[in-house]
Amino acid sequence: MTTKETKILVYSSTDTNTETLVGKLNIYSNLPEIEYSTFEYSNNWLNKPNAYSLGIDLPLKKGIFKCETPDVLFRTFFVSYLTYIIDFYYEIFLVYAKKNNLLSDKEGFDENELYQWLKTAGVRDAKFGRYYDNTFSCATNLLYQNDISRCGSLRFKIKGNEQFIQDLANIKIPNIADIDRLIEILNKIKNNTETSEELELFHACVSGLNGRKPKTHVFNKAGNLCIAKLSCITDEMFSEYGVELLALNLANKFGIKTQEYSIEETKNGKNFLLIKRFDRKGSKRIPFLKLNAFVESDKVEDIPSIIKGIKDISKANFRKNANEFFKRSLFRIVITNTNAQIPNTGFLFNETQGWLISPEYDLTCGYELKRTPWDMSRIEGFYTRDTRREIKELMKSRKKYGISKSVAQLQLARLKRVLTSYKRVALDVGFAKEDLYRIKIFTKCMKYIKIK
């Protein structure tokens, strides 16, 4: 089978009048397998005063970089979109790809090759809740994500084309007033009764939004791009909406800047979270980098890798960013956060201050999803021991983050004060009193912690 070469031009485009060529990305594929990719920075980018590296595997220097890892693409081009088992967006994408020839045009894929690729990825005829691996995720999501929803300022063109890839000018992401229509389309897709137009619209709206929980892009009343988290569409999902709202409230009380959010309501009276995209300011795109593009592993105990990653992104602001990362790590540990710390840490470029850690996002508290007759005192004992151990390990590494003993003590004491009121905050955001025991926040874990 002949190896195909897809030539992609990578741009940084902060607004409609600004396009700076960052470099050239080539993907060499022999469908259904993708063999490797290469990348080379442009001279203009290398000579730019505020030029920045795109990742640990793409240092800012001349030359052609080659990637032959199982990930296929360089980390920075897929870490924002990497798909996990039972991913909501990829289920939608599969339905869309099979009913349309989205992948059979200018990128060189035909329908038979697409089917074989999906089959190799383990997707087959799966729909909502089946398993598949990352073979499908790397190049596909890069090439076919809706341009308007791409993270940060990076945008892509197929060499020889003037238009950005998937710049869907004919499909408009709707305003929040149409949220009930989007929920209706989602339910139709689940029942395989949607029209082609409905599927095309919904795919454009959910493009790039990974994770198990249903969500969609919409514009709020002020015209800002937002993410609507639609856990409200099923009766069993309040807990997932509630624990995120609880975590955001507690984080704000602890002094952690979070993503801007509001509580909205559907026509049938169910609440949902509306999250404002922090990498947008009106129509302007703000450069954004994720920490896991700059670290060797996603393990929070790999302190040297984390420190190096923060320095590589933001050398001028290292102390400020490292201090904030330490504070957030402490908070996430104590609320038994179930989302990954490193993949959910990003940096935004400020024209006057440089790279600063982004607002906290994808934050949830530990929560027992089902009511159980379990002895919660035994569960509390387990989490208290485990969480106390993690806190001790974090405190041992405080000097590497530039945290003094007195500052660490103050943060621990303040967090303890904030979390003593978590049950009251949980009631305020809508938890039933009889469900409070299911929240896995155990303040006992902060007792007897000695900071050396």
Q: Give the angle subtended at the CA of 241 by the CAs of 239 and 242, to the nearest 5°.
A: 60
From edge to edge, which strands make up the β-sheet containing 225-229? 215-219, 225-229, 271-276, 261-265
Please state the φ and ψ torsions of residue 188, each to the nearest 5 degrees: -65, -40
The SS3 of residue 20 is strand
Question: And the tokens for 147?
Answer: 């341009």
- pLDDT score at 349: 94
Distance CA 361, CA 348 (A): 13
**Helices (runs of H) and strands (runs of E) counted in the chain:** 12, 14
- pLDDT score at 93: 64
The amino acid occupying position 175 is N
166 Ramachandran zone, left/alpha/beta (phi>0; psi -120 to 50): left
Separation of first and last alpha carbons in the chain: 62
The amino acid occupying position 326 is F
- pLDDT score at 231: 75
- pLDDT score at 236: 52
- pLDDT score at 375: 47
Task: Find, among 416, 268, 209, 208, the residue nearest to 330 by Cα.
Answer: 416
What single string gives the DSSP state of each residue in 207-248? TT--SSS-EEEEE-TTS-EEEEE-GGGSGGGHHHHHHHHHHH
- pLDDT tens, N- to C-terminus, the chain (452 residues): 567 778 889 999 988 778 999 999 988 776 555 567 889 999 999 999 889 999 888 899 999 998 865 455 676 775 443 333 335 665 666 666 666 654 443 344 444 444 444 444 433 333 333 333 333 445 665 776 788 888 899 999 988 888 888 776 667 889 999 999 999 988 888 788 888 888 888 888 887 777 767 889 999 999 999 999 887 665 554 567 788 899 999 999 999 999 999 989 888 888 889 999 999 998 899 999 988 888 876 666 678 888 999 999 998 999 999 999 999 999 998 888 755 677 788 999 998 899 999 999 888 887 776 555 444 444 454 456 777 888 888 888 999 999 999 999 999 999 999 998 899 999 998 888 888 877 877 676 666 577 77
Distance CA 157, CA 19 (A): 11
pTM for the full model? Answer: 0.83
For residues 242-281, one letter each, b for 16 or more C-beta atoms within 10 angstroms of the residue's C-beta and e for the rest, the string is bbbbbbbbbbebbebebbebeebeeeeebbbbbbbbbbbe
Distance CA 6, CA 77 (A): 15
Give the burial class of 28: count Cβ atoms within 10 A of its Cβ; 0-12 exposed, 13-18 middle, 19 or more buried: middle
- pLDDT score at 246: 92
Question: And the tokens for 254?
Answer: 């602890």
Task: Find, among 204, 179, 72, 182, the residue nearest to 136 by Cα.
Answer: 72
